[in-house]
């Protein structure tokens, strides 16, 4: 490995840590433009996180270390998962056969700790959100794994770095239906995992409808900053899984590829903003159907991939 390539890989590994909150800013700005408002600055998520980091934290008397561990473990698991994630055709720092299963379960572990922290507060309100998160998460996980298994079978690679390096426009030309279905599934998984419309509304604070927001209501100060940062990282992670399929690495130059991948991610954020502006949240009992439908598409993609 020579110097410039090492530098490119180093940058690709650091990029999510710096740029992830910007995705949230772009989504919010898109929604503001749709609604005819000026909207918050694009860097508002960064300001929020720094503001929260400077504040003190308040802990209720009924909580234990579980509440404090929740956000830390949430961010830590997402960071490890990000270490397995290649960007723009550059191999990830951590790569081995079957690492996508580790990524899926790291996401699951982070979710488990967030749920535990919500239950630890002893509030019925947080418990309600935790129950919903557990239900929808359990449905989204098979959809994600089926989609990744389809990709693995299509490319004949068993690590995320291998899969995403092998994807190209030739893969699209021979297996467009399967890849199209996988893209749609990954979009649905992204919307579910990040609690966006039509699964959950990140803006609402109405108790009957909230999922993610209600779980983290009792976090404050630096803990809440970690929650927000973790949410941004998770959005980046699921976004890269999606854009890596939809927009494979084009050129041989890693820097150009990285810029293209970044542009694709920002375009995805705009698309999410458009979806949120144009769609209403689904009724709660319709959400499992939405996620099961995504799983059905992934299963079909896997069947198509097996036929190839």
Q: Which residue ranges make up the site for other proteins (CB under 8 A)?
A: 176-177, 288-289, 292-293, 296-297, 299-300, 303-304, 307
Q: CB of residue 57 vs other proteins: minimum separation in angstroms?
A: 40
Q: CB of residue 150 vs other proteins: minimum separation in angstroms?
A: 14
Q: CB of residue 293 vs other proteins: minimum separation in angstroms?
A: 6
Q: CB of residue 34 vs other proteins: minimum separation in angstroms?
A: 27
Q: CB of residue 275 vs other proteins: minimum separation in angstroms?
A: 19
Cα separation of 284 and 303, whole Å?
30
Q: Indicate the residue among 82 and 143 with the shorter CB distance to other proteins.
A: 143
Q: CB of residue 147 vs other proteins: minimum separation in angstroms?
A: 14
Q: Indicate the residue among 247 and 299 with the shorter CB distance to other proteins.
A: 299
Please name the helix (run of DSSP H) or strand (run of DSSP E) that holds residue 93, with its range, or none: none
Give 50-55's long-range contacts (Cβ < 8 A, gap of 24+): 50/225, 52/221, 52/222, 52/224, 52/225, 52/228, 53/221, 53/222, 53/225, 55/220, 55/221, 55/222
Residues 6 or more apart whose Cβ sits within 8 Å of residue 231: 24, 194, 212
Q: Indicate the residue among 92 and 178 with the shorter CB distance to other proteins.
A: 178
Contact (CB, 8 A) for 182 and 150: yes
Q: CB of residue 176 vs other proteins: minimum separation in angstroms?
A: 8
Q: Indicate the residue among 185 and 243 with the shorter CB distance to other proteins.
A: 185
Residues 6 or more apart whose Cβ sits within 8 Å of residue 139: 192, 288, 291, 292, 295
Q: At what angle do helices 3-34 and 44-54 cross, to 10 degrees?
A: 100
Nearest to 47 by CA among 21, 72, 27: 21
Tokens linked to 222: 């630096």
Angle at 66 between CA 60 and CA 69, to 5 degrees: 105
Q: What is the DSSP letter of 90?
A: B
Tokens linked to 238: 């699921």
Q: Indicate the residue among 91 and 142 with the shorter CB distance to other proteins.
A: 142
Q: Indicate the residue among 145 and 258 with the shorter CB distance to other proteins.
A: 145
Q: CB of residue 137 vs other proteins: minimum separation in angstroms?
A: 16
Q: Indicate the residue among 34 and 172 with the shorter CB distance to other proteins.
A: 172
Contact (CB, 8 A) for 289 and 136: no
Q: Indicate the residue among 39 and 288 with the shorter CB distance to other proteins.
A: 288
């Amino acid at each position: 490995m020579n110097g410039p390539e090492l530098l490119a890989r180093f940058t690709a590994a650091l990029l999510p840590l710096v740029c992830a909150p910007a995705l949230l800013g772009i989504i919010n700005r898109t929604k503001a433009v749709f609604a005819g408002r000026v909207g918050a600055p694009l860097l508002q998520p960064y300001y929020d996180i720094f503001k929260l980091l400077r504040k003190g934290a308040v802990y209720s008397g009924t909580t234990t270390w579980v509440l404090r561990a929740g956000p830390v473990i949430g961010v830590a698991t997402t960071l490890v998962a990000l270490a397995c994630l290649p960007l723009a055709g550059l191999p990830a720092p951590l790569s081995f056969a079957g690492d996508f299963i580790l990524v899926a379960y790291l996401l699951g572990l982070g979710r488990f700790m967030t749920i535990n922290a919500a239950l630890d507060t002893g509030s019925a309100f947080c418990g309600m959100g935790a129950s919903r998160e557990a239900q929808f998460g359990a449905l989204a996980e098979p959809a994600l794994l089926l989609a990744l298994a389809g990709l693995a079978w299509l490319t004949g690679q068993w690590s995320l770095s291998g899969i995403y390096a092998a994807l190209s426009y030739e893969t699209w030309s021979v297996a467009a239906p399967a890849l199209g279905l996988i893209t749609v599934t990954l979009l649905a998984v992204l919307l579910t995992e990040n609690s966006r419309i039509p699964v959950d509304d990140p803006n609402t604070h109405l108790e009957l409808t909230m999922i993610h927001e209600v779980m983290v209501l009792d976090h404050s100060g630096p803990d809440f900053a970690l929650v927000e940062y973790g949410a941004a990282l998770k959005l980046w992670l699921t976004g890269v899984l999606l854009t890596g399929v939809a927009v494979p690495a084009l050129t041989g130059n890693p820097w150009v590829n990285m810029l293209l991948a970044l542009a694709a991610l920002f375009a995805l954020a705009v698309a999410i903003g458009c979806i949120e502006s144009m769609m209403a949240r689904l009724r709660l009992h319709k959400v499992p159907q939405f996620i099961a439908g995504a799983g059905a598409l992934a299963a079909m993609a896997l069947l198509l991939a097996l036929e190839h």
